[in-house]
A and B are shown apart, each in its own frame.
Chain A
Amino acid sequence: MAFAVALLSRTKQYTECPPLMEEEQYIDSRQKLETILKPLEGAEETGLIIHEELCSGCGNCVVACPVNVANDPYGSGRGFGPTNGKVIFRVENGKVKAANIEECRRFGKDRILCRACIDPCPTEAIEFV
Chain B
Amino acid sequence: MTEPITWTCTGCALLCEDILVYIKDNRVEKVEHACLKGKARVYGCKHTAMSTVDQEEVDINNAIIQAAEILEKASNPSLYGWSNSTSEAQVAGIELAQTLGACIDSTSSFCQGITINEIMNGSIPSCTLEDVREKADVVIYWGADPMSSHPRHLSRYSYFPRGELRQRGYEEDRTAICIDVTESRTAKMCKGMFFRIPPGGDAEFMRALMDGLAGRVPKLSYDFDVKRILELAAVLKKAEFGVIFAGLGLVYSIKEEFDLISEFMSTLNRFSNFFLIPMAGHFNMRGFNHNLHKKTGFIHRLGFTKNGPVSGVEYSVLEQLKHGADAVMVVGSDPLASLPLSITKRLKDIPLILVDPCANLTSRVADVTIPCVASGIEVGGTAVRLDGKNMDISPLIQGDGLSDEMVIRRIMEEVN
Docked complex: B31-55 residues within 8 A CB-CB of A: 31-36, 38-40
B110 contacts A by Cβ under 8 Å: no
The distance in angstroms between the C-alpha atoms of A10 and B30, with both chains bound, is 35
Report the nearest B residue to A55, measured CB to CB: B36
Distance (whole angstroms) from the CB of B24 to the closest CB of chain A: 14
Contact A94 B155 (CB under 8 A): no
Contact B155 A59 (CB under 8 A): yes
Report the nearest B residue to A116, measured CB to CB: B171
Contact B154 A60 (CB under 8 A): yes
The distance in angstroms between the C-alpha atoms of A91 and B151, with both chains bound, is 12
The distance in angstroms between the C-alpha atoms of A37 and B133, with both chains bound, is 42
Contact B162 A91 (CB under 8 A): no
A-B contact count (CB 8 A): 93
The distance in angstroms between the C-alpha atoms of A78 and B39, with both chains bound, is 22
The distance in angstroms between the C-alpha atoms of A56 and B31, with both chains bound, is 14
Cβ proximity bits B117-148 to A, threshold 8 Å, 1 near / 0 not: 00000000000000001000000000000011
13 contacts between A and B (CB under 8 A): A55-B36, A56-B147, A59-B152, A59-B155, A63-B155, A77-B169, A78-B162, A80-B33, A91-B33, A92-B31, A94-B34, A120-B154, A122-B189
B170 contacts A by Cβ under 8 Å: yes
Contact B160 A80 (CB under 8 A): no
Report the nearest A residue to B188, measured CB to CB: A122
Mostly, the A contact residues are: loop
CB neighbours (8 Å) of A63 from chain B are 155-156, 160-161, 169
Q: Among the listed A59, A64, A94, which residue makes an inter-chain contact with B170, where contact means beta carbons less than 8 Å apart?
A: A64
Cβ proximity bits A60-97 to B, threshold 8 Å, 1 near / 0 not: 10111000010001000111111000000011111100
B402 contacts A by Cβ under 8 Å: no
Contact B39 A62 (CB under 8 A): no
Number of interface residues of A (CB under 8 A): 26
CB neighbours (8 Å) of A57 from chain B are 34-36, 38-39, 151
Chain A residues packing against B (C-beta within 8 Å): 55-60, 62-64, 69, 73, 77-82, 90-95, 120, 122-123
Contact B155 A79 (CB under 8 A): yes
Contact B151 A58 (CB under 8 A): yes
Contact A60 B155 (CB under 8 A): yes
Distance (whole angstroms) from the CB of B193 to the closest CB of chain A: 14
Given contacts A56-B36, A57-B39, A122-B147, contact A81 B185 (CB under 8 A): no
CB neighbours (8 Å) of B154 from chain A are 58, 60, 120
